[in-house]
């Protein structure tokens, strides 16, 4: 597609566009922006739609800094124009990616970037290559029945959650900016025949690559093995350069090492989700990053009351496929689909792929054990007895509704050294805030019993109580993006008040710090109003 005649050759923010993806990989030869099947190509060139009155709601200082954008530049007119899709310069090469995927366990064929348009890829001063992608920037050949747009509520959620996850230490795509477009977007939030106009918005997402398992799945589903090979070789040369041999075709040992790394990073990502209580909500294979990053923040949610069966996604309410406790096995299932996709590169000898897949339970299990041991304040995982303690904790946390974040944060305050001398009520006092209802005497007794076993275990490691507390607080966040917190910021944007988004971003930049001034508002259980409110406990895929 042609750029507008009067667009400048060079972007005004001084970014260095390198555009390796579009430079090196096969492009769609049809440049019309019409919805269709696109074969033999990794992407289609497409221009972002113009927006009528873009306004910056918030931006991330750290992401701007990675890109070499100053705070002064971020406050400029050019910034808001560029990241709302109105200013496309000659050094960019905007495109939408072509990919497929399994949705809710079924092969869905071609999906693709239906409402994401990358402006291109830039070389950064210290952080390698990063792709800048506008989510909600209008239709692409992959928009199917959608409009290519995004609404404010889901964009606030994506913007805040990507940054919150980063500061929690969870691998994730990042978010540079959140803008309102000035245009309205029609949505039927609960697919119940009650559509309404909502504010349109665009998030500029940032990642080394937005490649998904589904990019590798689509080619073999169409018998396009040469294209699959081209994409795999390119991925290894660019994003897995530490594995690559030479500039050309990679041998099967390298491809195997690459797949092993994807298995490992995927397992690590899910371990981190489980630690912070994050439920992705739509772990379709088109939403699984090849870099093991959390990607595509849609109807995600955070566990408040600990419940392994919980999912925020009403679209998945029937089967609860993507519930919190199922995420580790779904990641494994998704890796099997990726292995199937790249199997044609191995001719008939898929043994190395199978061996790599078989490492998943161990990768996940050892990551989980180490993570749980750290959370509970142990110096390291010590075997079966520790596993028993973890399992018993899972049971006790479900006896009555118990806030997961408050429990783990306050566990560090339980007096382990004197656990045997305290009565039940005194022993459990630091974690009583985590209970949504008053415990019965038997619940209190079961919790106290667990705490005494924990205390025996934790005091085996010769650390002072203060050392242990500091270590536990470094892995048990005090502040996560509780579903209702995002909703409060969304309500304020709806009323023209953008400050709530930046305030939450600021809070979530330091999730492990005490920040006593925010305790009353945000280190607290879900308020009653949020229990059944749309956007808080229930989210659909509509966004």
Q: Which residues of the shown chain bind Mg ion in the complex (CB under 5 A)?
A: 287, 296
Nearer to Mg ion, 292 or 305 (CB): 292
Please provide residue 203's backbone torsions phi and psi, each rounded to the nearest 5 degrees.
Answer: -105, 135
Nearer to ligand AMP, 170 or 295 (CB): 295
Spatial separation of the C-alpha atoms in residues 474 and 513, rounded to whole Å: 8
DSSP assignments along 144-181, one per residue: TTS-SB-BHHHHHHHHHHHHHHHHHT--B-EEEEEEEE
The distance of closest approach from Cβ of residue 322 to ligand AMP in the complex, given in angstroms and rounded to an integer, is 11
**Which option in Mg ion, ligand AMP, none does residue 143 bind, with CB closer than 5 to 8 A by kind?**
ligand AMP
Judge contact between 403 and 482, C-beta under 8 A. no
The distance of closest approach from Cβ of residue 144 to ligand AMP in the complex, given in angstroms and rounded to an integer, is 6
Out of 46, 63, 64, 149, point to the residue binding ligand AMP (CB under 6 A). 149
* 55-59 vs 278-279, strand pairing mode: unpaired
The distance of closest approach from Cβ of residue 402 to ligand AMP in the complex, given in angstroms and rounded to an integer, is 31
Contacts of 264 (CB under 8 A, 6+ apart): 292, 359, 363
Q: Which residues, 424 to 443, sit near ligand AMP by CB under 6 A?
A: none
How far is C-alpha 373 from the geometric centre of its chain's CA atoms? 24
Please provide residue 205's backbone torsions phi and psi, each rounded to the nearest 5 degrees.
Answer: -95, 155
Out of 132, 254, 282, 293, point to the residue binding ligand AMP (CB under 6 A). 282
Spatial separation of the C-alpha atoms in residues 482 and 87, rounded to whole Å: 35
* 3-class secondary structure, 209: coil
The distance of closest approach from Cβ of residue 286 to ligand AMP in the complex, given in angstroms and rounded to an integer, is 6
Spatial separation of the C-alpha atoms in residues 117 and 7, rounded to whole Å: 18
Nearer to ligand AMP, 138 or 367 (CB): 138
Six-digit token string for 498: 């953008």
- Which residue carries 């988004």 as its tokens? 501
* 3-class secondary structure, 258: helix
Out of 33, 143, 162, 487, point to the residue binding ligand AMP (CB under 6 A). 143
Nearer to Mg ion, 113 or 163 (CB): 113
The secondary structure of residue 47, as a DSSP letter, is: P
The distance of closest approach from Cβ of residue 301 to Mg ion in the complex, given in angstroms and rounded to an integer, is 17
Six-digit token string for 447: 């919790």
Out of 20, 115, 482, 526, point to the residue binding ligand AMP (CB under 6 A). 115
Out of 28, 93, 113, 446, point to the residue binding ligand AMP (CB under 6 A). 113
- Indicate whether 111 belongs to the interface with ligand AMP (CB under 6 A): yes
The distance of closest approach from Cβ of residue 98 to Mg ion in the complex, given in angstroms and rounded to an integer, is 13
**Which option in Mg ion, ligand AMP, none does residue 457 bind, with CB closer than 5 to 8 A by kind?**
none
Out of 48, 94, 112, 120, point to the residue binding ligand AMP (CB under 6 A). 112
Q: Which residue is nearest to ligand AMP (CB)?
A: 146
**Which option in ligand AMP, Mg ion, none does residue 483 bind, with CB closer than 5 to 8 A by kind?**
none
Known catalytic residue: 307?
Answer: no
Judge contact between 289 and 295, C-beta under 8 A. yes
- Closest among 400, 266, 395, 388 to 333, alpha carbons compared: 266
Nearer to ligand AMP, 214 or 305 (CB): 214
The distance of closest approach from Cβ of residue 186 to ligand AMP in the complex, given in angstroms and rounded to an integer, is 10
Spatial separation of the C-alpha atoms in residues 386 and 542, rounded to whole Å: 42
Stretch that binds ligand AMP, among 14-22, 223-231, 281-289, 517-525 (CB under 6 A): 281-289
Please provide residue 447's backbone torsions phi and psi, each rounded to the nearest 5 degrees.
Answer: -65, -40
344-350: Cβ within 8 A, 24+ apart: 344/220, 344/225, 344/228, 345/225, 345/228, 345/229, 345/232, 345/252, 345/255, 346/252, 346/255
- Indicate whether 109 belongs to the interface with ligand AMP (CB under 6 A): no
**What residues form DSSP beta bridges with 122?**
17, 130
Judge contact between 133 and 117, C-beta under 8 A. yes
**Which option in ligand AMP, Mg ion, none does residue 298 bind, with CB closer than 5 to 8 A by kind?**
ligand AMP
Out of 162, 172, 272, 287, point to the residue binding ligand AMP (CB under 6 A). 287
**Which option in Mg ion, ligand AMP, none does residue 235 bind, with CB closer than 5 to 8 A by kind?**
none
Out of 141, 171, 298, 500, point to the residue binding ligand AMP (CB under 6 A). 298
The distance of closest approach from Cβ of residue 171 to ligand AMP in the complex, given in angstroms and rounded to an integer, is 18
Q: How far apart are the first and last CA of the chain?
A: 27
How far is C-alpha 49 from the geometric centre of its chain's CA atoms? 26
**Which option in Mg ion, ligand AMP, none does residue 282 bind, with CB closer than 5 to 8 A by kind?**
ligand AMP
Task: Say which of 28, 233, 239, 286 is annotated catalytic.
Answer: 286
Active-site residue numbers?
286
**Chain contacts with ligand AMP (rule: CB under 6 A):** 111-115, 142-144, 146-149, 282, 284, 287, 296, 298, 541
């Amino acid at each position: 597609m042609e750029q507008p005649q009067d667009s400048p050759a060079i972007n005004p923010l001084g970014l260095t566009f390198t555009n390796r993806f579009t430079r090196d990989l096969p492009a769609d030869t049809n440049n019309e922006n019409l919805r269709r099947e696109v074969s033999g190509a990794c992407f289609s060139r497409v221009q972002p739609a113009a927006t009528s009155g873009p306004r910056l709601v918030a931006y991330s200082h750290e992401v701007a800094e990675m890109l070499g954008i100053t705070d002064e530049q971020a406050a400029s007119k050019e910034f808001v124009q560029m990241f709302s899709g109105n200013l496309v310069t000659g050094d960019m090469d905007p495109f939408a990616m072509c990919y497929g995927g399994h949705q809710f366990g079924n092969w869905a064929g071609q999906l693709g970037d239906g409402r994401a348009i990358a402006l291109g890829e830039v070389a950064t001063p210290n952080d390698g290559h990063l792709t800048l992608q506008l989510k909600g920037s209008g239709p692409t050949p992959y928009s199917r029945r959608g409009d290519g747009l995004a609404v404010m509520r889901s964009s606030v959620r994506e913007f805040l959650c990507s940054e919150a996850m980063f500061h929690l230490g969870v691998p994730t795509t990042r978010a540079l900016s959140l803008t309102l477009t000035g245009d309205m977007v029609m949505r039927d939030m609960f697919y119940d025949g009650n559509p309404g106009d909502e504010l349109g918005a665009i998030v500029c997402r940032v990642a080394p690559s937005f490649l998904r398992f589904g990019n590798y799945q689509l080619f073999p589903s169409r018998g396009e093995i040469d294209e699959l090979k081209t994409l795999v070789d390119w991925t290894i040369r660019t994003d897995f350069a530490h594995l690559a041999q030479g500039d050309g075709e990679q041998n099967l040992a390298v491809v195997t090492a690459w797949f092993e790394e994807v298995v490992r990073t995927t397992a690590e990502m899910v371990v981190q989700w489980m630690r912070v209580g994050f439920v992705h909500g739509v772990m379709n294979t088109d939403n699984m990053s090849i870099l093991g990053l959390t990607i595509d923040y849609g109807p995600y949610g955070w566990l408040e009351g600990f419940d392994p069966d919980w999912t925020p996604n009403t679209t998945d309410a029937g089967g609860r496929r993507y519930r919190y406790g199922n995420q580790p096995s779904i990641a494994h299932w998704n890796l099997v689909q990726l292995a199937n996709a790249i199997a044609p590169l191995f001719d008939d000898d898929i043994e190395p792929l199978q061996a790599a897949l078989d490492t998943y339970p161990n990768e996940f299990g050892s990551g989980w054990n180490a993570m749980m041991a750290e959370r509970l304040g142990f110096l390291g995982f010590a075997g079966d007895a520790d596993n028993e303690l973890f399992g018993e904790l899972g049971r006790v946390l479900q006896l009555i509704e118990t806030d997961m974040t408050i429990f783990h944060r306050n566990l560090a305050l339980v007096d382990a050294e004197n656990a045997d001398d305290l009565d039940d009520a005194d022993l459990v006092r630091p974690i009583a805030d985590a209970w949504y209802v008053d415990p019965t005497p038997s619940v209190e007794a079961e919790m106290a019993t667990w705490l005494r076993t924990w205390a025996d275990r934790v005091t085996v490691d010769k650390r002072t109580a203060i050392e242990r507390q500091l270590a536990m607080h470094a892995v048990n966040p005090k502040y996560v993006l509780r579903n209702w917190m995002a909703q409060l910021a969304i309500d304020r944007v709806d009323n023209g008040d953008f400050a709530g988004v930046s305030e939450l971003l600021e809070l979530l930049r330091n999730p492990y710090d005490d920040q006593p001034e925010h305790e009353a508002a945000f280190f607290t259980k879900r308020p009653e109003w949020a229990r059944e409110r749309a956007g808080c406990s229930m989210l659909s895929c509509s966004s």
